[in-house]
Structures are given as C-alpha cells and as structure tokens.
Amino acid sequence: MIYLHAFIFAGIICALGQIILDKFKLTPGHITVLFVIIGAFLDVFSIYDKFVAWAGGGALVPITSFGHMLTHGAIAGYEDNGFMGLLIGTFDLTSAGICAAIIFSFYLSLIFKPRD
Amino acid sequence: MEKKKYKEIVDKHTPKENILVNALTAFTIGGIMGIIGQGLIEFYSYFLTIPEKEASVCMIVTLIFISCLLTSLGFFDKIVNFCKCGLIIPITGFAHATMSAALEYRKEGFVTGLGANMLKLSGAVIIFGVVSAWTFSLIRMLLGVI
C-alpha cells in the first residue's frame, strides 16, 4: 500500500512543479528553489513528517525533503545545543546528499568528457 | 529587424507545449521515482539489515550516483527532455545540475574551473534551503519560547 502512496505523493509534487514551470515560464532552477523553500516551511509544524510516515520513500525522493531535512536538523540541533544548535545541526541530515553529489561529480568529471 | 516582427516570428516558431500532457508525464515519472525510492529503502533494510533511517540515506546516495553516472555518460539530458519535472524535482535533478556543471567547467582548470563552478546551478538550492531552514526554525524557536 505504501508504494501506491509513494507513487501518488511524488507524482503530485512533480506534476505541480511541471504546471508551475509551464504556466509562469520559469527555469528549472526556480522550481527546485521554490520546492526546497516549501519543504522547509512544511517542517516548521512537523507537517512533512506526517507525509513521510504516509508516503515513505515517495516523500523522501522529491527535493522538498531536502528542505525538510535542513529544518529538521536545525530544530533537532536547537533542542540539543540551544541557540547555536540552529547553526550546528542544519547540515546533520543533508550532508550525505550534498557530499555524495560533490564527490561523485568530482571523480566522474575526471573520467568522462562532456558530450553535447 | 523590427522588434515586433521579430517577436511574431519567435512566437510562430516556439513549439506549443501541451500543459496537460507534460503534467501527466511528470506525474507518472515522478511517481515511478517515488516507488523506486521506497523500493530501495525496503531493499536496503531487508537484505542488508540497515535501520530504516540509514537506509533512506543509502537510497538518496544511490539515486545521486545513478543520475551522476547517467549524466556523465550523456543519457540524462535526453531523458530529461522527455520527462521534464519528473526527474528535475526528485533529488536526481540536484545531482544532474552538479554533475553537468562539473563536466562543463572541467576544461577550464581545477581551481578556477571545476572548484569555482561545480555548485553554480545547485548552489541556489543549498543557499535558499539553508537560509529558509534557519529562518523557519528561528520562527519555530521563538514561537516555542512564547
């Protein structure tokens, strides 16, 4: 059942992004930034945690989960370390994704040549 | 050429994109990506007995690796042209932006090319994500204090 939920949730987010992209003639960069901000906002009152519980991987794959994890880490850091924890904890959960993207890109760009 | 005439010609030759078809394609591809994500989480937690929270990190790293590899082999751009937001909104879009910038600026040298420009496209995501996350959690903190 969770697969159906994952399909619906991830699909709706991607379709919304596509409609906004077509209607307002934005670049894909604007869309990803917009969805990161939406994800960060939805985590303020722990709404996104309910989506994750409902859709599982379907809620973790879209870029909204990136914003969700940033806010989640910042709030968890605040609970552990007080005010400075907002800065300490921000990258706790997302560092895996960012580091993986940077490291893979670096080594693969040494191996492969650009194609057009 | 006059501006008006030029605009007319541009409008005539811009392909008319069907919003509904594009949205349906994005829905299907995005949904499949969601299913793949959930499947990978269950694969890692069942067969490699990783706790579910770490399995989701492994899933994200796997997707990033696959999309980096496909981008460097040159397939990803063709797939994106067809699937559009179905692959840009998932984490694969982030990896694709990093990878294609790295490939493009590699020839300009290591420090001034690769290092300075790798996060050119995806840096916006990180910067706006951090700024909004900090602001929103500050707001939540202040609300919690009151």
DSSP output for A40-81: HHHTTTTHHHHHHHHHTHHHHSBTHHHHHHHHHHHHHHHHHH
Contact A86, B138 (CB under 8 A): yes
B49: left (phi over 0), alpha (psi -120 to 50) or beta: left
pLDDT of A114 strictly over 60: yes
Q: Which of A57, A76, A64 is nearest to A14 (CA)?
A: A64
Q: What average pLDDT does the structure give for chain B?
A: 87
Which residues on chain B are in Cβ contact (under 8 Å) with A66?
91, 94, 125, 129
Please indicate whether, in this complex, the C-beta atoms of B40 and A57 are within 8 angstroms of each other.
yes
Q: What angle do CA B96, A12, B18 make, to 5 degrees?
A: 80
Residue A102: predicted pLDDT: 93
pLDDT mean over B96-107: 90
Q: Each residue of A81-99: pLDDT tens digit? A: 888 888 998 898 899 999 9
Residue A24 lies in a domain: yes
Its pTM stands at: 0.87
Residue A35 CB: number of other CB atoms within 10 A?
27
d(CA B69, CA B54): 23
d(CA A25, CA A46): 32
Model confidence band, residue B145 (pLDDT cutoffs 50, 70, 90): low
Q: Each residue of B113-142: pLDDT tens digit? A: 889 998 888 899 999 999 999 999 999 888
Q: How far is CA B82 from CA A61, B24, B87, B96, B115, in A?
A: 19, 12, 10, 15, 31
d(CA A58, CA B31): 7
ipTM, two decimals, is 0.90
Range of the domain at A14: 2-111
pLDDT of B1 strictly over 80: no
Residue A116 lies in a domain: no
Residue A108: predicted pLDDT: 92
Which residues on chain A are in Cβ contact (under 8 Å) with B64?
97, 100-101, 104
Q: What residue segments make up the domains of chain B, in order of their start?
A: 3-119
The shortest CB-CB distance from B114 to any of A74, A78, A109 is to A109
d(CA A104, CA B102): 10
Please indicate whether, in this complex, the C-beta atoms of A12 and B27 are within 8 angstroms of each other.
yes
The count of structural domains within chain A is 1
